[in-house]
Amino acid sequence: MAKEFPVPPVVFKSGGNPTAGGAAFQQRRVPTAPFQPPRPSSSGIPFMSFDIGSAAASTSSGPIYGGPMGGAGSANFEDEEPLLDELGIHPDQIWKKIRSILIPFRLNYVVHKDSDLSGPILLYMSFCLFQLLAGKIQFGVILGWIVVSSIFLYVVFNMMAGRSGNLDLHTCTSVVGYCMLPLVILSALSLFLPQGGIVSLALAALFVLWSTRASTGLLVSLADGGDESRGLIAYACFLIYTLFSLLIVF
């Protein structure tokens, strides 16, 4: 005969039997936290297409944040200026100035009114390159002489012109640089000529006179007060370009 043990009844705090209130228990829902938004259904998720043209149509839920610049990411770059123009380099203007120096008897003074340093720097670098091909490393010497020559010619011109002289250092440096074109051509020709010969000296004298005439005419036409002392200005320019020609001949 099996012995029976008395089992006390189980009493729940809710006061009901789970078997009897099963339907009510299943209807209870877990409450969501107030900071958690409800999950949208699969049909409400916006589709992001890889096609740039259809991106605006596919994202109908709202605008996408474009960063601190707002809508600057979709700016039209065709309205931007070319890079050379932003740097102040105008190749067509440089070519016009160089072409005016090539004909010393018909100088175009109008194109040299807007002085720049991009053309002179190009000619200086070409001059240094031809000297390097000749076996002469003179970058520092040429740069130092260019600075000293520009300041020297600027001081001499304004002292002779007096109070009526209005030549600035920027214009003087531009004129001295563009009138270096004959010496650049001479440095290129000297690669095929013997150094120190009679032919080299004759060509050097011819190209120095070419540079002197061009620089004197430009300085007198671009600045006031130089007509009366044209000969002295020409002498100063002759000394400057003779100094550079000695680097080429010897």
Hey, where are the domains in the chain? 113-249
Burial label for 45, CB within 10 Å (0-12, 13-18, 19+), is exposed
Nearest Cα residue to 218 out of 114, 122, 135 = 114
- Which 8-state DSSP code applies to residue 227? S
Q: How many CB atoms lie within 10 A of CB 170?
A: 13
Per-residue pLDDT of the chain (250 residues; tens, 9 = 90+): 566 667 677 665 655 555 555 544 455 555 555 555 555 555 555 555 555 555 444 444 444 444 555 444 445 666 677 776 666 677 888 999 999 898 877 778 888 888 889 999 999 999 999 999 998 888 899 999 999 999 999 999 988 887 777 888 999 999 999 999 999 999 999 998 887 778 889 999 999 999 999 999 999 888 887 777 888 899 999 999 999 999 998 8
- What secondary structure does DSSP assign to 156-207, as a single string? HHHHHHGGG----HHHHHHHHHHTTHHHHHHHHHGGGS-TTSHHHHHHHHHH
